[in-house]
Amino acid sequence: MSIISYVNGSYVDHKDAKVNIEDRGYQFADGVYEVFAVINKQIVDYDGHINRLFRSLNEISLNSPIVKEAYIFHIRNLIRKNNIHDGLIYLQVSRGVAQRDFKFPTKIKPSLVITAKSISMENYYSKFKQGIKVKITDDLRWKRVDIKTLNLLPPVLAKQKAVENGCEEAWMIDSDGYITEGSSSNAWILIRDKLITTPATNSILKGITRTSLIRALKRKNIKLIEKRFNKKDIKNANEAFITSATQFVMPVIKVDGYKIGNGKVGKYAHMFKDAYMEAIQLK
């Protein structure tokens, strides 16, 4: 079965899905994106992701090429056309096609691309049982990482460094020595029974998975502290995690070669993953 993607108003065979080489997404990373998980043919936390997309668009003064209500229609079409049971939807809006010039061109239509792929929840659960290893890298990003822009070179370099060091994720550290977040996830540590995550300022992307987990933990009376943490705090942690639309809740068992707790997936990881899975909104 061929894969179907959405490009600027048409559903096309993925092999034929193309954008112009003068698209400003390609030339300048001038655009924003979202990643939605699909579980059981339904979109996970749709409202959170679509609202964040519109916030990102607004922050870079880009108009949506379609009305807000139309996005779910196209996403659902792709889920159906690609027969996705569990999967990921990638959606990107760029400023559109124009001759290369830094300032905003006038009278161009933004480009919209949506793609879908299947994932295996069994792979997720088996990765969860193993946990992942994290490498600490410098946070080389700009000052507005709260906007989900296409400008991803620093996280690409961070993730590559992690992989070259036998790790699955990078935790980026700022010039004050604090962890901001993962290259494509939010970062959490647990010290005794206190869960700590970086506050949602301009220095991190306010993850939709992060918001859902916080909502879930409130119901379970878990003590959450939104504050910055450093390498010393990581050494005192008994458990650690990342969250994202692609990894859900994923335990971290080693940071820079240092074992978290006993180096195995802990009981809170299971509790948080279960609480998160119960709290997600499916649409």
Q: Any residues with CB less than 8 A from the CB of 162 and at least 6 apart, and which? A: 134, 135, 137, 168, 169, 170, 183
Tell me which of 68, 109, 135, 148 is the catalytic residue.
148
> Which pair of tokens denotes residue 282?
């499916």
Nearer to ligand PDD, 97 or 198 (CB): 198
Site for ligand PDD (CB under 6 A): which residue of 111, 243, 266, 273? 243
Active-site annotation holds for 218: no
Q: Decide if residue 168 touches ligand PDD (CB under 6 A).
A: no
Least distance (Å) from ligand PDD to the CB of residue 76?
Answer: 20
Site for ligand PDD (CB under 6 A): which residue of 87, 131, 154, 207? 207
Residue count, binding to ligand PDD (CB under 6 A): 15
Contact yes or no for 254/133 (Cβ under 8 A):
yes
Q: In a 10 Å sphere around its CB, with 0-12 CB exposed, 13-18 middle and 19+ buried, how is residue 81 labelled?
A: middle
Question: How far is it, in rounded angstroms, from Cα 201 to Cα 210?
Answer: 13
Element of type H or E holding 117: strand 111-118
Least distance (Å) from ligand PDD to the CB of residue 103?
Answer: 27
Least distance (Å) from ligand PDD to the CB of residue 261?
Answer: 23
Q: Which residues are 133's β-sheet partners?
A: 254
Nearer to ligand PDD, 155 or 266 (CB): 155
Pick the stretch among 62-70, 107-115, 183-191, 214-222 that binds ligand PDD (CB under 6 A). 183-191
CA distances from 157 to 17, 105, 163, 242 (A): 27, 30, 10, 19
The beta strands (E) that lie in 174-267 are given as 178-182, 186-191, 194-197, 223-226, 229-230, 239-244, 248-255, 258-259
Q: Decide if residue 173 touches ligand PDD (CB under 6 A).
A: no
Nearer to ligand PDD, 97 or 150 (CB): 150
Q: Decide if residue 137 touches ligand PDD (CB under 6 A).
A: no
Q: Decide if residue 249 touches ligand PDD (CB under 6 A).
A: no
Pick the stretch among 53-61, 158-166, 178-186, 275-283 that binds ligand PDD (CB under 6 A). 178-186
- Residue for token digits 């400008």? 151
Q: Return the active site residues.
A: 148
